Structure 1
Amino acid sequence: MKCRFVLLAVLAGFSISWGADAGPGTRLLRFPAIHGDRIVFGYAGDLYTVGAAGGTARKLTADAGYEMFPRFSPDGTQLAFTAQYDGNTEVYLMPSGGGIPRRLTITATLGRDDVADRMGPNNIVMGWKGNDKILFRSRKDEWNDFKGDLLLASVEGGLPEPLPLPYGGFGSFSPDGKRLAYNRVFREFRTWKRYRGGQADDVWIHDFDSRTTVNITDNPAQDIIPMWAGERIYFLSDRDEKKRFNLYSYDLRSKKTEKHTDFADFDVKFPSLGDQAIVFENGGFLYRFDLRSRKAVKVPITVADDQVTGRGGWIDVSRRVSNYEIAPDGSRALFGAHGEVFTVPAKHGRTLNLTRTPGAHERASKWSPDGKWIAWISDASGEDEVYIAPRDGSGPPRRLTEGGDTYKFSLLWSPDSKKILWSDKKLRLQVVEVESGKVTEVARAKAFEIADYAWSPDSLWVAWAQEEETQLQTVYLHSLASGATFPATDGWYDSGSPAFSADGKYLFFVSSRTFNPVYGQNEFNYSYRDMAKIYLVTLARETRSPFEPKSDEVRIKEEGSKEEPKPKPEPEAKVTVRVDPDGLVGRVAEVPVESGTYRHLTSAAGKLYYMTLRKGKAVLALYDFDKLKETELLDADGYEISADSKKMLIGQGGSYSIVDLPSARPDTSERLDLGDLRFEVDRAAEWRQIFHECWRQMRDFFYAPNMHGVDWAGMRERYAELLPFVRHRADLTYVIGEMIGELSAGHAYVGGGEVPPKERVPLGLLGAEIEKDPASGYFRIVKILRGENWDKATRSPLTDIGVDAKTGDYILAVDGRPTREMRDLYEALVHTAGKQVKLRLNGKPEEAGSRETVVVPVGDEHGLRYHEWVRGNLERVEKATGGRVGYIHIPDMGVDGLNMFVRHFYPQFRKEAVIVDVRSNGGGNVSPMVIERLRREAVLVDIARNTAPSLDPGGMIPGPKVALLDEFSASDGDIFAYR
């Protein structure tokens, strides 16, 4: 019930009905195909068929996976499509009128293989070549997600046949099958409309006899999804002034282009060519374009079905906890999960759901220190507002704020339970009085949102960390009584995570003031890590530091004096915080803990509790001010301390425990029972909420307040029309993606969400190119990919130590099963990734003289194929330049790309020049680090006796440098070339 964020449609002014079925004129019909008088299309992940004139559709498939991209055979008898019946996304075939699907391809599971992913699904069916071969696009052999290969799958099954093209997108064969109209780029699932960058594709024609390729559109706009009909090639283009995809055609004889549709509100999507017409989607409806009349008409279709993927029901949200809190006395815990607010007993009692609102997103829940109220942020009104409700759900929630106009961040109760503090996307820090509802602005930042804030124990002061234009944070203090605001830290160091001491004498904070340079191993360079420690400032001028030297002195009892009675403990006095601003930033003391990473500071019972990182693990620790000693308590994800400072809630790997406030390692074996963190979800209401929250997210977070000139309110209304027809989470993602795509901006993505579970089936791969020998029926190893077997990502199974396999060997049997009985070798390798497999091999296609060897297949060849490609490029450059020029490929501008740069840059210092290849670099953020090294210029040469001279500065190749990039060099990979 979050988009990450959302809104309630009815309250937002939309009257959207949601009945048992979508009713007449069902929308969100996707991926259509047509032949003669029949249309097949996808809806909610299943395939349906209907007459070409429309009517009530009949379901053809009903699997938990997603079925898509149906395509009729030219004779109309068969239907090829992409589906997930057996776990992976594969090509299937069935009779066009329905029947049992038959799997045609067997490929490995990809990390990104989903209809809702911007890279699109794998193994997309695109069309036919005759009645016996199916054209599809696959990423099975590509190391880069941008690229895919075009292949032909036989209706009889077997290894697919790759087309002799380097890569491709949508394609369509000429009627005689000798030429192919195709796109080189595939970006149809990207949420970036009106794109004019390097991946804006054209329609190309490849002649398989002459091996020539010509561009027939050559337009800066996007010309996509070609369909070859006689002497005319139809395609989609957004080349007109509206920049909206419409249907066009190119006449092969006149070489003229003609526009056939003129849709203005929605793009034409995923057209498909039939024998007499083209069918496509627009605004969720299907349209039929007659090839003779060249007129498009809407096809009225009704889907009357139970649509189980859109139904609600009871769900377990115990693994979807977004925040947790402890009751003031530790008797219960508070959880926010899946947009609902729950309280769970420490030991005895029932779990309470305080919200039960699938049409709203409740989050950031907090328990008042006096125990009476629970507060949260909700968008039930259509905007983020602050609500409170009785702790036991005995009364309805009460809204404290009005006129919400942006996204609100975390809530924080004042210790007296009379006020609530929060920050928002407009960079404000605000407080609301619980009784009156009066809202007061405490602060407004200039550079970034305010994220860390804290109350003083007397509820009269607020501290917060605010990022300045220097990108360093300063901690500020604000008096609610006087309205005065002043800094508690100076601007020389990054400071944050403020927390008052329980006695009101100190303000703790985390600050990066420890300078420990770490020198690199490959060159004389350094970086700064683990700079932070915990510090405190004394708020009042006369307050002494807890770390001042102490001295034990001998007490002398005077003769005749009586023993002084021990003082009786006084009742706990009310804390009053006094702050002397003069000299405050200089009254800093360091808490003696090791430098590292610290967050979530809380003072209680003379101790300071905090989260830190130790040896790469999150650790809960404390510092005892009586003993002046740090104690590491245990590994944990987080913690919360009860308002009475007697109990602690600890989170560990999705489990939670309430313990006495610890001074040493606590026993967390007694876990809270989250078995009743369940509620009845209404998918329709939830998906409406997600849509509207996503709309607000873009409104509030998009960098340009004018939304690129787009009528953003109008776009919400336009795409909200499709919500009543959403019956699958992937289709909601599609609708949201189409809406945010109207902003015409890159890096605006949508993903995630709950889809029907489907088990992925791992396939074992041998790290080799395999072909079937038609004469013998056996499979032959054509090429063994070279790997580095000490690296799991580039392990080549057939070159492992002890494996006896060679290029040219015939694979006679797999685990005793003769391969000549198989259409596809990989049918014997399903579920074998990481397991031992026995192969019978021979250099000849016969049993005599054969040998057996045991191999352990890999589940993913992408790293291996990438290594083979880079290695080939290195060898090519080495040979062409006589070893004088170096070569470096950088696959992305993240950790992997930086590692590849370091791996190949430093061993090539002595090269006279270098080629830096960023083709297919998907981006990241490390290009400045790479550029800094490439731009270095020699200042002097270091020479010592009996050693090789070295350049200063080190870490450089002084000669010429060339950068290679292509249309798939994206984001920081594209920026690199301009730096």
Structure 2
Amino acid sequence: MFINHSSSYFRAAALVAVALFVSSANAQTKLLRFPDIRGDRVVFTYGGDLWIAPSSGGTATHLTSHPGVELFAKFSPDGKWIAFTGQYDGDEQVYVIPTTGGEPRQLTFYPARGPLPPRWGWDNQVYGWSKDGKRIIFRSLRDSWSLPIARLYSVSVDGGPAEPLPMPTAGSGDYSPSGAEIVYSPQSRDFRTEKRYGGGQANALYIFDLKTNFAKRVTEGPRATRDPMWIGDTIFFNSDRDGHFNLYAYNVSSGKTTQVTTNKQWDVRWPSSDNEGQIVYELNGELQVMDARSRKSTPISINVPDEGIARRPSRVFAGNLIESFNLSPKGERALFAARGDIFTAPIEKGPTRNLTHSSGAHDKWPSWSPDGSQIAFISDLSGEEELYLVPQDGSKPPERLTTGGTAMRYSPEWAPDGKRIAFSDKDGTVYILTLADRKLVEIADSPRGQIRDYAWSTRGNFLAFSMPNDNQFTSIYIWSAADNKLHRVTDDMFNSYNPAWDPQGNYLYYLSDREFSPQISNIEFNYATNRPTYIYAMTLRKDVKHPFPPESDEVAVAKSDEAAKPAASPLPTDQPKPEATPKPPPTMSIDFEGIENRVARVPLPADNYGGLSAKTGHILYGTGSAPYYGRQGDRPNALKIYSIKDRKETTLVDDVRGYTMSDDGSKILVAQGAAFNLYDATPQGDRTRKPVAPTGLYVDRVPAEEWNQIFNEV
């Protein structure tokens, strides 16, 4: 008998595919959050929506589908309603919805505090119902002057003003069977991620008598106790007193506490009860239900049906997610890292190029080579962050230059001769890679902080950066390629940082915090320091002249033979004499002996300086306001340029988020609000603005690849 092997193969492949689909469709869904139980049903949050499923397991039914999150669902005592916290109009409010589904009805309207940092969770967090099912209990920050100080409130299921419970501060809480008492925690630290915290802010549980307003502490020990659930004569709660969060039971009559669950691998999370005999909780991203009488837990296998829309590949715009930016050596094209890919974009004409197309990698910190041919960047394509190289025209795929990375790596910086690349990592190590032999060396290792402000000298034979000392003040260090030695060139009395080399090889500019003029508070007798920074110039050799010698108006006395000479004809006013640009020396050397004393302050007042860079005859820097909590600073950030010869400061651009300068010092690319603009790097540069629109920055997104990368990166 003739057998068509091809047909048999495809039939077998189809059966396997169907089996995998069926298996996937019926598989236990992970990341089921904030569950509650009533009778034979459980409700939970998945993907920011509420779902309801049989407590015995099975396929879940969609209950809400708004783009905002819906969470902390709690069944009413009769099981007909579900109260929850939702974001239907932007902030978190209390809502109620029929268990059978329908339109949610909003019950609270006082503006929520937020958005809150993750460690503080959400405002207006629903905790349960009154025993008669007429009121919903929730925690709110509405009357709080500080985030740790919240309070429990109740609101009628029919609407109306919320009323505070008598406890002055409270986190979670649950009523006694009679409703005359409530077990609660005075604090809310339920979203903190630290493990085994045993300090003074650890949650404890109290029984509060609602008639006498008397509170009795019922849990002891330094570890957190949270999520109280009152069933009969027993208060169940969650605690990490054995190292992992597990359920415990406190007998109200005897005062005795016993451990109920003994999980050693995963923490019990967000347990919730029906106050009758069932407790549901998270464990390893799934749900388990526990019988409060037998103390036996059973996994609930729940499948949440998914159309797979979130997994579909798509092309998405990345121009609003730019992480960093740079310029080509002469400023012809812009360089962007956006949404994990590396792009080059034209200033005026031409295509935008995605050089990496790496949906499964986070590509960042791009830097253009001095000859314009290649771009160095950091990527975790291999699983760890490494240094890569890619042609600027995208003609070849990226090439990995390093291996063995163990920490986040930052900002490749090319030496001006294109022979070396410097970069650093999160552990405070500075590396230099030699391109010719791919040799990687560590030149500095700081145990007290990261090093991110390294800068190459004009000839590429020195690298300057700041590094923390034992007293946590940073000093400027210079690494010499000739002897592979590290030299500290500023003392440890002040913070000195952000070095920038004079292109002529005569000076090293840097910032240093040396102005201490404290500002006294109007509210309390305390102070803050503002505008503490000066700009300094260090002469690199003993024969280099002082950069800012004293100025004095003196009389120029003409010699006798000069007095007889006729005056030279002036140049036409429309033809100014061009200023010659001196060329940098063919070699560059530094006299390290006594260098820390060869320092002059740039004649500028103290300010909040940052982003220092240098070009021939000028330095560029940013100024701005000191940061404030709750409001904008008293002046916008500005980019300024200072003429060394004229000793004159000019504001180039206002409202600056950041900037970068081309290698030849001719152009600057400035981030202003959400826009990018190119300017000439001259005192008159404010009149040369050219908008650079990152409209062509698109990435081909494969969600499953992105999720894997995000998980590994975290």
TM over 0.5: yes
Structure 1 position 252 matched with structure 2 position 271:
no
Q: Which residue among 677, 692, 698 is the counterpart of 2:712?
A: 692
Deviation at 1:575, TM superposition (A): 3.2
- Mapped contact 2:112–2:124 kept (Cα < 8 A): no
Selected match of 2:39 from 33, 36, 59 = 36
Give the distance between the partners of 1:95 and 1:520, measured in 2 at CA. Answer: 53
Query: Given the alignment of the two structures, is residue 629 of structure 1 paired with residue 629 of structure 2, yes or no?
Result: no
Higher helix share: 1
AA aligned opposite 1:622: I
Give the Cα–Cα distance (whole angstroms) in 2 for the partners of residues 95 and 446 of structure 1: 58
User: Is 2:78 the counterpart of 1:58?
Assistant: no
Q: Deviation at 1:333? A: 0.6
Partner residue of 2:204? 202
- Shift of the alpha carbon at 1:436? 1.9
> Residues of 2 paired with 1:498 and 1:454: CA distance?
7
Q: How far apart, in 2, do the equivalents of 1:223 and 1:491 lie?
A: 47
1:363 aligned partner: 364
Report the equivalent of 1:142.
144
Equivalent residue, structure 2, for 1:26: 29
Instruction: Find the counterpart in structure 1 of residue 693 from structure 2.
Output: 673
TM-score (norm. length: structure 1): 0.64
* Corresponding residue of 2:87: 84
Q: What are the superposed Cα offsets for residues 461-486 of structure 1, whole Å, 9 maximum, x if unpaired?
A: 22222222233332222221233433
- Greater strand proportion: 2
SS at match of 1:49: strand
Q: Is the 8 A contact 1:18 1:684 kept in 2?
A: no
Q: How many residues end up aligned between the 2 structures?
A: 672
Q: 1:610 to 1:165 in 2, by over 3 A?
A: closer
Measure how far apart 1:117 and its partner are.
Answer: 4.4
CA gap of 1:186–1:64, structure 2 versus 1, over 3 A, is: same
Change in Cα spacing, 1:338 to 1:553, as seen in structure 2 (3 Å) is farther
- Tell me by how many angstroms 1:522 deviates: 9.6
- 1:462 corresponds in structure 2 to 463
Q: Which residue of 2 aligns with 1:346?
A: 347
Give the match's secondary structure for 2:710. Answer: helix
What is the rounded CA distance, in whole Å, between the counterparts of 1:19 and 1:412 in structure 2?
A: 52
C-alpha displacement at 1:325, in angstroms? 0.9
* Residues 21 and 306, structure 1, Cα contact 8 Å, conserved in 2: no
How many angstroms apart in 2 are the aligned matches of 1:640 and 1:658?
A: 10
Q: Distance in 2 between matches of 1:30 and 1:570?
A: 66
Segment of structure 1 superposing worse, 348-357 or 308-317: 308-317
Of 209, 221, 224, the match for 2:223:
221
The residue number in structure 1 matching 2:596 is 585
Partner Cα distance (1:74, 1:638) in 2:
56
| Contact 1:657–1:668 (CA under 8 A) maintained in structure 2 | no
Q: In the alignment, what sits opposite 1:438?
A: 439
Q: Aligned partners of 2:61 and 2:307: how far apart in 1?
A: 12
Distance in 2, Cα, partners of 1:184 & 1:521: 33
CA spacing shift, 1:232–1:531, aligned 2, 3 Å = closer
Alpha-carbon distance, 1:668 to partner: 5.6
Partner of 2:672: 652
Q: Is the 8 A contact 1:91 1:125 kept in 2?
A: no
SS in 1 for 2:319: coil
* Structure 1 CA distance for aligned equivalents of residues 401 and 194 of structure 2: 39
Structure 2 CA distance for aligned equivalents of residues 530 and 315 of structure 1:
42
Structure 1 position 84, deviation (Å) = 1.9
Q: Structure 2 counterpart of 1:586, which letter?
A: N
1:265 match: 265
1:331 aligned residue = 332
* Aligned 8 A contact 2:502 2:508 in 1: yes
| Residue identity in the other structure for 1:232 | T
Percent identical? 38
- Does the Cα contact within 8 Å between 2:119 and 2:193 map onto a contact in 1? no
Superimposed CA distance per residue, residues 560-593 of structure 1 (whole angstroms, 9 cap, x where no aligned partner):
9xx9xx9999995763212222332232233222
Letter in structure 1 aligned against 2:246: N
Question: Residue 659 of structure 2 corresponds to which residue in structure 1?
Answer: 639
CA contact (8 A) 1:497 1:510 kept: yes
Distance 1:20 1:66 in 2: 29
2-structure distance, mates of 1:527, 1:40? 51
Check whether the contact 2:458–2:503 (CA below 8 A) recurs between aligned residues.
Answer: yes
Distance 2:217 2:644 in 1: 76
**Shift in alpha-carbon separation, 1:359–1:220, aligned structure 2, 3 A:** same
User: Hey, what's the Cα distance between the residues in 2 that align with 1:634 and 1:679?
Assistant: 31
**Equivalents in 1 of 2:244, 2:286: separation in Å?**
16
CA deviation vs aligned residue, 1:390-416 (integer Å, no higher than 9, x gap) = 111111111111111223232211001
- Structure 1 distance, partners of 2:368, 2:23, is 39
Alpha carbons 1:118, 1:191 under 8 Å: kept: no
Residue 237, structure 1, aligned to residue 239, structure 2: yes
Deviation sequence 1:869-897 (CA, Å, 0-9, x none): xxxxxxxxxxxxxxxxxxxxxxxxxxxxx
2:502 matched to 1:501? yes
CA apart distance, 1:375? 0.9
Deviation at 1:24, TM superposition (A): 0.3
1:506 Cα deviation after fit:
1.9
CA distance, structure 1, for counterparts of residue 291 and residue 524 of structure 2: 67
The 3-state SS of whatever aligns with 1:218 is coil
- In 2, Cα distance between equivalents of 1:355 and 1:20: 35
Q: RMSD of the alignment, in Å?
A: 3.3
The equivalent of 2:609 in structure 1 is 598
Unaligned segments of structure 2, at least 5 residues? 1-19, 569-576, 626-633
Quote the Cα distance in structure 2 between the aligned partners of 1:65 and 1:501: 53
Counterparts of residues 518-597 of structure 1 (less than 5 Å): 529-548=530-549, 554=558, 556=561, 575-597=586-608
Instruction: Name the SS for the 1:617 alignment partner.
Output: coil
Counterpart for residue 7 of structure 1:
none
Counterpart residue identity of residue 353, structure 1: N
**Alignment pair present for 1:318 and 2:319:** yes
Greater RCO (CA < 8 Å, at least 6 residues apart): 1
Q: Pick which of 466-475 and 382-391 moved more.
A: 466-475
Q: Distance in 2 between matches of 1:126 and 1:278?
A: 14
TM (norm. structure 2) is 0.86
Q: Indicate if the aligned counterparts of 1:339 and 1:361 stay in contact, CA closer than 8 A.
A: yes
Match of 1:607 among 607, 618, 625: 618
Question: How far apart are 1:324 and its partner, in Å?
Answer: 1.4
Match for 1:534: what amino acid? Answer: I
Please say if residues 378 and 387 of structure 2, whose CA atoms lie closer than 8 Å, have aligned partners that are also in contact. Answer: yes
Structure 2 Cα separation of the partners of residues 51 and 517 of structure 1: 64
Amino acid at match of 1:639: Y
| SS of aligned partner of 1:666 | helix
- C-alpha distance in 2 between matches for 1:71 and 1:53: 18
Residues 511 and 83 of structure 1: CA distance in aligned 2, closer, same or farther (over 3 Å): closer
Does structure 2 conserve the Cα–Cα contact (< 8 Å) formed by 1:504 and 1:575? Answer: no
Q: Residues 663, 134 of structure 1: CA spacing in aligned structure 2 closer, same or farther, 3 A cutoff? A: closer
1:93 aligns with 2:96: yes
1:71 to 74, 79, 100: 74
1:310–1:208 Cα change, 3 Å: farther
Q: Which amino acid aligns with 2:145?
A: W
CA contact (8 A) 1:88 1:107 kept: no
The alignment status of 1:619 with 2:619, answered yes or no, reads no
The match for 2:214 among 197, 212, 215 is 212
- Give the Å deviation of 1:661: 2.9
Give the match for residue 704 of structure 1: none
Measured at CA, do residues 554 and 535 of structure 1 come closer, stay the same or move farther in structure 2, by a change above 3 Å? farther
Give the direction of change, closer, same or farther, for the CA distance of 1:442–1:18 in structure 2 (3 Å limit). farther
Q: Distance in 2 between matches of 1:417 and 1:199?
A: 55
Question: In 2, are the aligned partners of 1:36 and 1:276 still within 8 Å (CA)?
Answer: no
| C-alpha contact (below 8 Å) 1:82/1:125 kept by paired residues | no
Aligned to 1:452: 453
Aligned equivalents of 1:233 and 1:627: distance in 2? 78
Alpha-carbon spacing, 1:48–1:521, altered in 2? closer, same or farther (3 Å): closer
CA drift of 1:31 comes to: 1.5
The offset of 1:311, in angstroms, is: 5.9
Matches of 1:258 and 1:170, distance apart in 2: 21
**C-alpha displacement of 1:102:** 1.8
